[in-house]
Amino acid sequence: MSRYDAIVVGSGPNGLAAAIVIAQTGRKVVVFEAEPDIGGGVRSAELTLPGFVHDICSAVHPFAVASPFFRTLPLASYGLEWVAPPAMVGHPFDDGSCTLVYRSVEQTAAELDGDRRGYIDLIGTLVDAWPLIDTSVLAPLRWPSHPIALSRFGLQAMRSAERVARGAFAGARARATFAGIAAHGLLPLDCRPSAAFGLVLNVMAHTAGWVMPRGGAQQLTNALAAHLKSLGGEIVTGTPVRSVDDLPPARSILCDLSPKPLLRIAGHRFPLWYRRKLERYRYGMASFKVDWALDAPIPWRAEGCARAGTVHLGGTIEELARSERDAWEGRIADRPFVLLAQPSRFDDSRAPNGRHTAWAYCHLPHGSDADMLSRIEQQIERFAPGFTERVLARSVRRPADFERHNANLVGGDIGAGVTDLWQLFTRPTWRAYSTPVRGLYICSASTPPGVGVHGMCGYFAAQRALSDVLRD
């Protein structure tokens, strides 16, 4: 007799999602987590000073709200509350102006001067189509329920962000704004399908919103864990799984792992051809992250940026494209593109009264040990003179630190593997969630639909197990 129907290795959002799907059917499931805390890429801690709550990895969660699976769960009843800033994204320029992406398409377009029509045609049209295609976009390749709407999206999404931006917009401001959103995808902006990230995230600004959990990202994890426990699921922390052979008996094992750590714990069970395929899986550029405790809000020169939850620092599309290409090709950008969030502006539980937090990262070459702190702070100073005078304390995470705390983030790649055209559809192999070992599945962001806090990789992996070894 198996003690468990399913064992999940890793408590990231995909691991918890997989465990919930299986527990929902009344089956017995346990999650083993290596770290003392649950959540993987969705955790918070007082990284700088007491009373300042920082997000260790993810901070901004449009994917979680948009997730076809998470939105079916009663997470609000476990205390999860979303905080929506007045503007989702701010993009400042050297002349002291900025663009803002609001929840409303019209309001956003109205500030784009000559590109108002272009924005409505590109983004507004996709916003209208989103309810028809969201479950196909956040899913593995399969026959869609609305093929025409999806193919309209796909034709644009499969292009490079630079091409889409230059084709849709005449002005530098709209082009730069779209490029900043697309650069979340960890691909050079002239590389296909970097437009996919730009389009999906831009649409989500108008549908789900670029929101943050009140109290920090950990609150999302805590709500998922509380729901899992209410369904009878167990979670065991501080227990790194060193080999699948050490696990208690179970009918299925779902690994919230990217290929490299998966090979470490299960490689000996795989046939050589599959091991080779996993070994060939490509990881991408790294990230260098800084969290700050501040004695006042960030003094943006463009005052509109004070209303944005996320601010993109890098100026023009040309500068952004150069920065991303540098990181991709192994060079350190002098002026790296910086993605910044300022949660305490909109959530006073994040810092002591009158004080603030900021979260930012930039991309750099895979595995690099370059120190990007001063370059990141110079980029912030460029658009917010006086920023560094407000710093009370800082906490830095280099690529090696990411990997030390989470084996999935190989070389500091926070995307769990490159999402170029090939690996978008065959993550981590054409088998996606299944492996050649019966009952052993992969449920991490290294499977479709990939990076982001949506839990859909876990959802689909668990469905695969349920229709396979857990069928009866």
Ligand X SMILES: Cc1cc2nc3c(=O)[nH]c(=O)nc-3n(C[C@H](O)[C@H](O)[C@H](O)COP(=O)(O)OP(=O)(O)OC[C@H]3O[C@@H](n4cnc5c(N)ncnc54)[C@H](O)[C@@H]3O)c2cc1C
Residues contributing to the site for ligand X (CB under 6 A): 9-15, 32-35, 40-42, 57-61, 63, 240-241, 256-257, 261, 265, 287, 289, 361, 402, 406-409, 414, 444-445, 451-453, 457
Least separation in angstroms between residue 381's CB and ligand X is 22
Q: Are 433 and 401 in contact (CB under 8 A)?
A: no
Closest CB to ligand X among residues 168, 305: 305
The answer to whether the bond into 13 is cis (omega within 30° of 0) is: no
Closest CB to ligand X among residues 209, 261: 261
Least separation in angstroms between residue 385's CB and ligand X is 26
Burial of 76 (0-12, 13-18, 19+ CB in 10 A): exposed
Q: Are 57 and 40 in contact (CB under 8 A)?
A: yes
Closest CA to 350 of 56, 44, 88: 44
Least separation in angstroms between residue 35's CB and ligand X is 4
Measured distance CA(252)–CA(441) in Å, rounded:
8
Closest CB to ligand X among residues 168, 313: 313
437 Cβ neighbours under 8 A, 6+ residues apart:
266, 269, 270
Least separation in angstroms between residue 110's CB and ligand X is 27
Closest CB to ligand X among residues 162, 256: 256
Q: What are phi and psi of 305, to 5 degrees?
A: -65, -20
Closest CB to ligand X among residues 169, 283: 283
Q: What are phi and psi of 414, to 5 degrees?
A: -80, -5
Least separation in angstroms between residue 149's CB and ligand X is 24
Least separation in angstroms between residue 202's CB and ligand X is 14
Measured distance CA(22)–CA(12) in Å, rounded:
16
Closest CB to ligand X among residues 30, 470: 30
Least separation in angstroms between residue 143's CB and ligand X is 25
Closest CB to ligand X among residues 120, 181: 181
Burial of 422 (0-12, 13-18, 19+ CB in 10 A): exposed
Closest CB to ligand X among residues 13, 118: 13
Alpha-carbon distances of 468 from 2, 20, 244, 300, rounded to whole Å: 16, 17, 19, 54
H or E segment to which residue 456 belongs? helix 456-466
Least separation in angstroms between residue 353's CB and ligand X is 26
Measured distance CA(87)–CA(99) in Å, rounded:
10
Q: Is the dihedral of CA 101, 346, 305, 286 positive or negative?
A: negative
